[in-house]
Structure 1
Amino acid sequence: MKFDESGEHRKLQLQELEKICNEEYENSRIYKEKTKTFHDKMISRKEFEVGQKVLLYLSHLCLFLGKLRSRWIPYCVVTNVFPHGAIVIQSLESSKLFKVNCHRLKHYYDGFQEEGVEEVPLKDPPYME
């Protein structure tokens, strides 16, 4: 009779262990969902329009890049925007068309116009002796 009791006890222990494992899987799934929603909320989406100037990121320069060499190719113009982030750009220097992901692009600003900027001359503080 002692074998039957120990067998029942062992079955209960295995059921408890399986229950704990299932709870941990569920907690892990919930944590991953929360982390993903937080990450997706922090991502800034870029909107590109046809005719807009952009900078193209050169990913193949990462290994042998000089210290002051830029990783961005300037002077590209957006010619077509596809859904799901694919964009066709045209280089103004070589007039070639490239189809790239929007994550490799950055908005190009020609220059900011300063309006109503006032210059304030700074004076040295008086010395206390």
Structure 2
Amino acid sequence: MKTPVGLTPFQLVYGKTCHLPVELEHRAYWALKFLNFDPSMSAEKRKRQLLELEEMRLHAYDSSKSYKENVKFYHDKKLVKKVFHPGQQVLLFNSRFKLFAGKLKSKWSGPFTIKDVKQHRAVELIDPSSDDPQRSWVVNGQRLKHYLGGEVEHLNTSIELVDP
């Protein structure tokens, strides 16, 4: 968790690294009691520590923001922009297939014809092979890929056993 922000969660809250042993706390209390610090000086020091803590938090916020921007840049760089037009044929990714339920079956169904391209990459599809040619539905454009033609072959997964 320290990498994107540059600080641990404990440092963000308390402004220092985490030292858990009780002896350190006991010795710190003993030192305060033994040296009898001036309350005004210790109050001034505490204010300075609070300002430093606020600066650390602002720095962590800036580090987190720049880290997220870099991750978004690299993620967006790998995305392939697909442009769709009405009348094109596309294949639809069927996300309802589970990992091992017919793992040799294609997860792409179709081809479907694009009826309309809406805002924010929403695409309205129609199924030319259905009984009702007016039936349409809207899907996210990220779930589509261009259909390059030809008949979609469905794999026959049945196996014939031969006796020796």
Query: Common fold, TM-score beyond 0.5?
Result: yes
Normalised to the residue count of structure 2, the TM-score between the two structures is 0.61
CA drift at 1:16? 1.1
Structure 1 residue 108: Cα displacement: 0.7
1:51 equivalent in structure 2: 87
Residue 108 (1) aligns with residue 108 (2): no
User: Does 1:40 find its partner at 2:76?
Assistant: yes
Q: CA deviation at 1:38?
A: 2.6
Name the structure 2 match of 1:117.
none
Query: Can you list the C-alpha shifts for 1:26-75, whole angstroms capped at 9, x where unaligned?
Result: 11112212221232232111001111111011112236621211111122
Q: Which structure has the highest strand share of the two?
A: 1
Shift >4 Å, 4+ stretches: none
Percent of pairs identical after alignment? 41
**Equivalent residue, structure 2, for 1:124:** none
Distance in 2 between residues matched to 1:68 and 1:92, nearest whole Å: 26
**Secondary structure of 1:70's aligned partner:** coil
Aligned length: 111
| Unpaired stretches in structure 2, ≥5 consecutive residues | 1-36, 151-164
Question: In structure 2, what residue type is equivalent to 1:87?
Answer: V
| Structure 1 residue ranges without an equivalent (≥5) | 112-129
